[in-house]
């Protein structure tokens, strides 16, 4: 197989936002540079949220200032509202990722807004982008497969936001399994329904491995035709407003699986493993991703004569 799969690295944003240890701006920048050296070309680097609520995301402007635009690289800023959009514009991010929660229960706790209020904010930002200019916009639908507060999330709850994003003419759509409850069969159904509702929108998937189904869900997405997946180096991640949510699928685990099957990702597996071990040491914990614990495919070893 020579099919190219794009992996969006989310370690510096989603990966760090739930960690107890707070990294300094210089440490976050080194993490970003190490990831880019390992092959990351598209990466969520910062989050324009209130640092009082999410102190792990402090320093977004400083980080963005230290990352001037480079050809072939895209640094993405997370945005929740128009204030975040203004900060994203000022920081000159290459892309913006607007989060819209699929449930009121999660939305009110995560960003202090109902689903309706978030849709209105997303539409206002998209209208401003088209009228005034600005970076490409992805809309990520969080808790698209299940919510820790409201429980099951129906297909219609998700498609309502899908249609609103399509009508707003955003550039990309992402479905996020924020708390890691999806299964491969539901993933396939939701991808198919989303494609039918918004056939012209590129689709990206974001999985957490809370219940050990993350890679299976990534595989189901690929089988359904998706070619863009989020992942986090070391398997870091989680949401500070989602009880017991653990990390994203590990970038190195996803790269290992895909490249063993012959897919092209553009990543250097050894570089990812080294980066995962480095950042995990800073955070005072071992990597969650299996490949960073076990290493890549074993290399042949010569027998030693006795």
Own/partner contacts of 101-104, CB < 8 Å, gap of 24 or more, are 101/141, 101/142, 101/143, 102/141, 102/142, 102/143, 102/144, 102/147, 102/153, 102/157, 102/158, 102/161, 103/143, 103/147, 103/149, 103/150, 103/153, 103/157, 104/150
Q: Kindly state the tokens that stand for 274.
A: 């080294």
- C-alpha–C-alpha distance, residues 172 and 201, integer Å: 6
Own/partner contacts of 150-158, CB < 8 Å, gap of 24 or more, are 150/103, 150/104, 150/105, 150/106, 153/102, 153/103, 155/189, 155/190, 155/193, 157/102, 157/103, 157/115, 158/102, 158/190, 158/193, 158/194
Q: Catalytic one among 88, 93, 101, 239?
A: 239
Closest Cα to residue 179, out of 149, 158, 215, 140? 149
Is 239 marked active-site?
A: yes
Instruction: Judge whether 107 and 88 are in contact, CB under 8 Å.
Output: no
Instruction: Judge whether 190 and 144 are in contact, CB under 8 Å.
Output: yes
Crossing angle of helices 115-132/82-91, nearest 10°? 40
- C-alpha–C-alpha distance, residues 246 and 15, integer Å: 10
**Residues in CB range of 89: below 8 A, 6 or more apart:** 134, 135
Phi, psi of 218 (to 5 degrees): -60, -45
What positions carry a catalytic annotation?
Answer: 239
């Amino acid at each position: 197989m020579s099919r190219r799969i794009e992996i969006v690295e989310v370690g510096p944003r989603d990966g760090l936002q739930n960690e107890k240890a707070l990294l300094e701006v210089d440490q976050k920048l080194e993490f970003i540079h190490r990831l880019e050296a390992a092959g990351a070309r598209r990466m969520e680097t910062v989050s324009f949220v209130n640092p009082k609520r999410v102190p792990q995301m402090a320093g977004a402007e400083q980080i963005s200032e230290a990352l001037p635009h480079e050809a072939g690289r895209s640094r993405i800023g997370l945005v929740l509202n128009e204030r975040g959009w203004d900060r994203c514009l000022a920081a000159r991010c290459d892309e913006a990722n607007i989060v819209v929660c699929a449930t009121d229960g999660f939305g009110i706790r995560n960003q202090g807004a109902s689903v309706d209020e978030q849709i209105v904010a997303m539409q206002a930002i998209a209208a401003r982008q088209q009228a005034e200019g600005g970076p490409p916009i992805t809309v990520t639908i969080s808790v698209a497969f299940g919510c820790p507060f409201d429980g099951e999330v129906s297909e219609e709850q998700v498609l309502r936001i899908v249609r609103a994003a399509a009508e707003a003419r955003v550039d990309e759509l992402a479905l996020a399994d924020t708390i890691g409850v999806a299964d491969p069969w539901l993933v396939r159904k939701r991808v198919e329904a989303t494609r039918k509702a918004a056939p012209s929108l590129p689709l990206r998937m974001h999985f957490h491995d809370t219940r050990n189904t993350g890679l299976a869900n990534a595989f189901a997405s690929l089988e359904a035709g998706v070619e863009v997946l989020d992942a986090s180096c070391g398997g870091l991640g989680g949401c500070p407003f989602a009880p017991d949510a653990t990390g994203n699928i590990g970038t190195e685990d996803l790269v290992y699986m895909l490249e063993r099957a012959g897919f092209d990702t553009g990543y250097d597996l050894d570089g990812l493993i080294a980066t995962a071990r480095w950042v995990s040491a800073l955070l005072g914990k071992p990597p969650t991703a299996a490949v960073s614990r076990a290493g890549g495919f074993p290399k042949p070893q010569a027998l030693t004569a006795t």
